[in-house]
A and B are shown apart, each in its own frame.
Chain A
């Protein structure tokens, strides 16, 4: 089974709105990462948050991590049509170990 599970599985919003998706995981981790995937091909790394961090920002992206609840959230502010993609969370149990991915959230941003 997947280590990370995203919620919701799909999300449809209007351009300009914020999009929030959540990720839950089961075991202790070293870090959690978020990736974006367009058109079912290669993934693009968005942001990495370590287990001792609680919040991280990158441009219009905001990621939070709550290790006590084993959960993370990704917020995309002021969404654009180009943000339409699938978003995956992935966890790394130990530094330099393999990433375990969740099932992803499909985001549709309507112009």
Chain B
């Protein structure tokens, strides 16, 4: 069965510093991996996805993620954090190639302080 783990409930970082939000996954077959962000009282906004190809995926708002097959990780990164990046971040894995079903991690709250 597929699963996703986000080991940190909250990540605190100072504005201008690099940020990392961690995600590990367990899946049989090829992983389809996603990152979404949720602002208060809003839906999920797509940041980036890994389907195949380059291990470094670039996404929206300056975010990127590194796919590491040996460590089964897909950590979200940004070189310089902004206060406006403060939100709830979800990592998700797609179940298989013929379904749009996503399995989500529990979410990580990112707090960027000025």
Answer whether A and B are interacting partners. no
Residues of A within 8 A of B (CB): none
Residues of B within 8 A of A (CB): none
